[in-house]
Chain A
Amino acid sequence: MQLSREQLLDAYARMRTIRAFEEKLEELVKGGKLGGFLHLYAGEEAVAVGVCSHLGDADIVTSTHRGHGHCIAKGVDVKGMMAELFGRATGVCKGKGGSMHIADVDRGMLGANGIVGAGIPLTTGAALTAKLKKTENVAVCFFGDGATNQGQFHESLNMAANWQLPAVYVVENNGFGEFTPTEYVVPVKDIAERARSYAMRSDIADGMDFFDVYQRAGEAIERARHGEGPTLLECKTYRFMGHFVGDPLVYRPKEEAEDWIQNRDPLLNFESKVSEAGMLEESDLREIDGAVSRLLEEAIAEAETAPLPELASILTDVYAE
């Protein structure tokens, strides 16, 4: 799959935006400016962007507690996201969702989700809608290795394979379910093997390599779009910042983390590939870095001064009229 210059610039901009967004959030939390539970996506950018580069607004994604990256990759407004995290009325969810439930259905983003595995059947349902309404839309679910131990994962894969739904199940295997190494709680070597139980196709991508994710996700999404059924796509990745902001990271060897962060960073990986192939100039990338940095400064400044929600809004949006 060949990417145009515009597509490459766009992919890099989204990955850089995710990284910078998460770095800023970490700073803001540590500076006491943000509350709530935050789970940051830094290190896994190639997965969200590699997959979502194939999707339009009418395609649905569901996400996890670690959902900012999927939102940005799916085109959710960064300023609206920042305002949401600041609990402002101008937030993309009016300040009612916060980090773990951030969503924008206008962008086909059906929510981060505070319940591990709960987005998986939501995707199955969105894929059922696409199939029954014959829309050619696809539904893509992002979830962690930990979620593959939930019943919802197995029940959903069974139904999706049985009904040949246009769904792609993307497992972001970052090696840890919270603090416990995946191999302590999962008997299979590769999560992708679990698809065999459901006669579902599977594939394994290097989740630190945008191009590998892009290629394999593209194949799975094309199959789904053309009625060839669902795929379980395992992306091997790593979370650079721990499970949540404030995670003391005592449970993983420093050398292991340093190796991933220094040698397998998806942004550096992308940069070296496009530079070596002569696809983009370094100046293109630095220009994007600068623009992203300015965007985030603006987003924070605007969020900090945006109006707080009216207290009466506690009672709105509970029910549809």
Chain B
Amino acid sequence: MSRKLSTGRAINEALAIAMESDPDVILLGEDVVGGGTLEADGVDEMGGVVGTTKGLVKRFGRDRVLDTPISEMGLLGTAVGAAATGLRPVAELMFMDFLGVCLDPLLNQAAKLRYMFGGKVRIPLTVRTLCGAGMQAAAQHSQSLYWITAGIPGLKTVIPSNPADAKGLLLAAIRDDNPVVFCEPKLILNQVGEVPEGDYEVPIGVAHLARQGGDVSLVGFGGTVPIALRAADLLAAEGIQADVLDLRSLAPLDEEAILTTLEKTGSLVVVDEATPRCGIASDVAALCVDRGFDSLNTPVRRVTAPHAPVPFSAVLEQAYLPSAERVVETVRALG
């Protein structure tokens, strides 16, 4: 059975299932409760800045849903220490941009303790974080910085493109014995879709062929999957059939799925809402050239944001983000 839920509610449901099934799962972060006087009449909790964790404190109590001070480095470091000693924390980094003040617990602690200790410790930590543009939140609250975490050995990074995957990927992330960064793209936060009931996992490291074509491969992830799907619709009207591959997981990367669709179509366009340098799109392009060169009938093209901060004005922000139209133009220009 399934029913329609937003991505935010699907994430909430995954958190509840994870907490119900494992008493070691705790949530901590800024405002994950978000309300100090829940006992008073007419007072409710916020449940996070966009309400994703709302309702969980009433069900699981304040020992398991912990409001932290606005101390991203301290809360992530604390979560790493808790994970290393027997809890299975889900920490919330409200916006991925805040990695700027708290990279060390991920870069030098969570990602490396197991390796440095010769395999003697597990860090079953999940870091949930809002990423990407689309809410006019401008340069410091709109970045897609998954290219940083995906490039760090020892971390996993996943990013859902729809509500059903958000639920299943988050459950898989929480139950993984490694630190997993779970990106919540703003572009899909309010997207509503069919979400299966009950407990299920979407495996980490496995891409999903979201649409079958055959003429060209469109590779996206997170918020660019709906863009690629719309582009595929537009292209179909012109007689071009596109494969749309949803990466779902940026680290580990399902290289075989990318090479398989490339082999089938001979042309590949990768769509990424992050900036173009040193990013996932470049990584996918490099993979195609490195391991899929013989399959290439056309150059690999990247559709990304420009090398600029995310602007505020809605008209600028829309122009900044990849669009289905840009994807279509790029495919047409492949010749």
Contacts and interface: CB of A to CB of B under 8 A. Distances in A.
A216 B120 CA distance: 32
B109 A122 contact: yes
Interface size, A (range): 35 or more
Given A93-B116, A114-B108, A118-B105, A125 B80 contact: yes
B214 to A, nearest CB: 35
B77 A96 contact: no
B82 A317 contact: no
Contacts of B202: none
A69 interface: no
A97 B104 CA distance: 17
A182 B89 CA distance: 36
Nearest to A135: B86
A22 interface: no
Contact of A320 (B75, B109, B177): B177
Contact of A124 (B77, B89, B101, B108): B77
A35 interface: no
A114 B113 CA distance: 11
Contact of B82 (A114, A129, A152, A320): A129
Instruction: Give the residue among A110, A127, A154, A162 with the most B Cβ atoms within 10 A.
Output: A110
Contacts of B71: 151, 155, 158-159
B84 interface: yes
Contact of A125 (B82, B119, B154, B177): B82
A111 B116 CA distance: 9
B116 A156 contact: no
Interface stretch (A101-109, A226-234, A235-243): A101-109
A115 B115 contact: no
Contacts of A118: 77, 104-105, 108-109
A163 B75 CA distance: 12
B36 interface: no
B73 interface: yes
A132 interface: yes
A91 interface: yes
A317 B115 contact: yes
Interface footprint category on B: 35 or more
A156 B108 contact: no
A318 B118 CA distance: 9
Nearest to B113: A111
Nearest to B74: A155
A105 B74 contact: no
A103 B120 contact: yes
Interface in A75-96: 91-96
A123 B81 contact: yes
Contact of B85 (A60, A96, A115, A151): A60
A320 B178 contact: yes
Contacts of B154: 318-319
A121 interface: yes
B82 A159 contact: no
Contacts of B123: 320
B115 A125 contact: no
Interface in B197-212: none
Interface in A131-177: 132-133, 139, 151-152, 154-156, 158-159, 162-163
Interface in A274-321: 316-321
Given A94-B119, A121-B81, A320-B178, 10 more contacts: A95-B118, A97-B116, A103-B116, A103-B120, A122-B109, A124-B78, A125-B80, A129-B82, A129-B86, A151-B74
17 contacts: A101-B112, A103-B116, A104-B120, A110-B84, A111-B117, A115-B108, A118-B105, A121-B75, A124-B81, A125-B77, A125-B81, A155-B69, A158-B74, A159-B71, A318-B114, A319-B114, A321-B177
- The 8 nearest A-B residue pairs measured at CB: A125-B81, A121-B77, A155-B74, A94-B118, A122-B81, A317-B119, A155-B71, A125-B82
